[in-house]
């Protein structure tokens, strides 16, 4: 049997990571180059001449005297941690196949769990916003299914209406030879035609041909302009046993197994949890490049203050 090229590919080794990002100077140089590829540009007057205030590590525009830090306006804004800590967090998030909990991340970085959670949540927000871009929408043959995160709580209601369950929709774009290519994992408040229509407009191109089961909410796919191919399944058969839903169910199984193994349960902020798995899956063909791509996106993502980060869903 041929080896799985994705599973056995070479990633970014710890030695290579240390060589590329092992010091604060190296990390600052990377961020500077990504933020100002053609040299410093003042955010106020667009001036290019500047001096460096070494005592406070700030750049001051020679024209308007505006002072700015290297991380201002990025996801790293207002951080009290060194960039080496952030880069190591990005390394663990991108190179861990099943993700990493904030508890484990805190142990590896040598910071408190609360700080590790905030860092991880901000980086997951980067992933979420990156894959929400219109250029990332799915096309071609797409398998779509409904699913839930979470499960029964002690003494609580069981089934679809259980309060611990968080509904989401999974969509998998397949290649011409029938292999999974890209995935979209999006939370919905409930499975309604209106909710699926809004989701499809954000995640699918009109050229998509979407295969679903007969659940009524999926009529929203056609309402969004994509081609809908529903299949009504009898009471003795589930979509998980149908070949046309093979990959969406495989992806869902892998996600739920990874979440159980990594987090045990998802109580809140499921959007960002799903975004982590989506980001890694969609870039799984080049593990070594996943880290610099996340750094690139982080530099271009607006700050996420803690007060917004902790808002409940």
Whether 240 has a pLDDT exceeding 60, the answer reads no
> How many Cβ atoms from other residues are within 10 Å of residue 76's Cβ?
23
For the stretch 76-118, pLDDT in tens is: 999 999 999 999 999 999 998 888 999 999 999 999 999 999 9
pLDDT at 133 over 50: yes
210 in a structural domain: yes
Give the C-alpha distances (Å, rounded to integers) separating 211 from 9, 234, 236: 31, 16, 20
pTM: 0.89
Domain region containing 68:
15-131+288-309
Q: 75-79, 226-230, 236-240: which range is least confident on average?
A: 236-240
Q: Are residues 249 and 204 in the same domain?
A: yes
Any domain includes 81: yes
Say if residue 37's pLDDT is above 60.
yes
Residue 299 inside a domain? The answer is yes
> HSE of 223 in the Cβ direction (CA atoms, 13 Å)?
13
The backbone region for 188, taken as left when phi is positive above 0, alpha when psi lies in -120 to 50, beta otherwise, is: beta
Q: So what's the pLDDT on residue 89? A: 98
On the question of pLDDT at 153 being above 80, the answer is no
Q: For residue 75, give both structure tokens.
A: 């996801």
Q: Which two tokens stand for residue 133?
A: 């871009």
Span 208-222, pLDDT tens digits: 999 999 899 999 999
Let me know if residue 2 belongs to a domain. Answer: no
Residue with tokens 């499960």: 151
Percent with pLDDT over 70 in the chain = 89
Q: Are residues 107 and 226 in the same domain?
A: no
With beta carbons less than 8 A apart as the criterion, state whether 193 and 228 touch: no
Cα distance between residue 220 and residue 192, in whole Å: 8
Confidence of residue 54 (pLDDT cuts 50, 70, 90): confident
- Please state, rounded to an integer, the average pLDDT across all residues of the chain: 89
User: Which range (168-172, 187-191, 252-256) has the least confidence?
Assistant: 252-256
Residues 144 and 244 in one domain: yes
Between 179 and 243, where is the model more confident?
A: 179
Q: Are 294 and 286 in contact (CB under 8 A)?
A: no
- Answer yes or no: do 145 and 269 share one domain: yes
* 198 in Cβ contact with 169 (< 8 Å): no
> HEC profile for the chain?
CCCCCCCCCCCCCHHHHHHHHCCHHHHHHHHHHHHCCCCCCCCCCCCCCEEEECCCCEEEECCCCCEECCCCCCCCCCCCCCHHHHHHHHHHHHHCCCCCCHHHHHHHHCCCHHHHHHHHHHHHHHHHHHHCCHHHCECCEEEEEEEEECCCCCCCCCCCCCCCCEEEEEEEEECCCCCEEEEEEEECCCCCHHHHHHHHHHHECCCCEEEEECCHHHHHHHHCCCEEEEECCCCCCCHHHCHHHHHHHHHHHHHHHHHHHHCCCCCCCHHHHHHHHHHHHHCCCCHHHHHHHHHHHHHCCCCCCHHHHCCCC
> Which pLDDT band, with edges at 50, 70 and 90, does 241 fall under?
low
Assess whether pLDDT exceeds 60 at residue 158: no
Q: Are residues 139 and 276 in the same domain?
A: yes
Same domain for 222 and 266?
Answer: yes
Residues 201, 263 within the same domain: yes
pLDDT tens sequence across 279-299: 999 999 999 999 999 999 999
Query: In which band, very low, low, confident or very high, does the pLDDT at 10 lie, cut at 50, 70 and 90?
Result: confident
Residue 234 and residue 105 in one domain: no
Token pair, residue 200, equals 């499809």
Q: Are 208 and 138 in contact (CB under 8 A)?
A: yes
The mean pLDDT of 122-145, rounded to a whole number, is: 96
Domain count, the chain: 2
Q: Indicate which CATH number applies to the domain containing 185.
A: 3.30.420.10
Tokens of 46: 């667009």
Question: Is the pLDDT score of 152 beyond 50?
Answer: no
* 155 pLDDT more than 70: no
pLDDT, position 97: 81
DSSP lists the bridge partners of residue 167 as: 148
Gap between the Cα atoms of 149 and 157, Å rounded: 15
167, 187 contact by CB (below 8 A) = yes
């Amino acid at each position: 049997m041929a080896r799985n090229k994705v599973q056995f590919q070479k990633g970014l080794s710890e030695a290579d990571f240390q060589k590329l990002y092992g010091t604060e100077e190296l990390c600052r140089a990377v961020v500077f180059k990504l933020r100002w590829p053609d040299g410093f540009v003042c955010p106020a007057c667009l001036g290019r001449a500047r001096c460096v205030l070494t005592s406070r590590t700030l750049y001051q525009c020679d024209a308007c005297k505006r002072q700015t830090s290297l991380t201002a306006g990025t996801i790293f804004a207002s951080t009290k941690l060194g960039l080496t800590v952030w880069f190591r967090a990005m390394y663990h998030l991108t190179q861990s196949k099943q993700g990493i909990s904030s508890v484990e991340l805190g142990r590896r970085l040598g910071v408190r769990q609360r700080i590790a959670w905030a860092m991880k949540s901000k980086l997951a927000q980067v992933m979420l916003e990156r894959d929400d871009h219109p250029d990332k929408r799915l096309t071609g043959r797409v398998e779509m299914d409904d699913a839930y995160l979470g499960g029964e709580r002690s003494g609580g209601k069981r089934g679809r209406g259980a309060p611990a369950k968080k509904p989401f929709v999974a969509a998998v774009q397949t290649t011409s030879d029938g292999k999974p290519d890209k995935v979209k994992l999006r939370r919905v408040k409930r499975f309604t035609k209106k909710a699926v229509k809004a989701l499809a407009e954000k995640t699918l191109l009109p050229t998509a041909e979407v295969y679903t089961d007969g659940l009524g909410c999926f009529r929203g796919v056609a309402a969004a302009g994509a081609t809908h191919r529903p299949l009504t399944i009898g009471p003795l058969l589930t979509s998980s046993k149908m070949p046309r839903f093979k990959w969406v169910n495989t992806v869902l199984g892998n996600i739920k197994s990874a979440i159980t193994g990594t987090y045990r349960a998802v109580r809140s902020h499921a959007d960002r949890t799903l975004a982590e798995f989506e980001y890694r899956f969609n870039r799984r063909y080049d593990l070594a490049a996943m880290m610099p791509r996340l750094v690139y996106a982080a530099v271009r993502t607006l700050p996420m203050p803690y007060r917004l980060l902790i808002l409940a869903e």
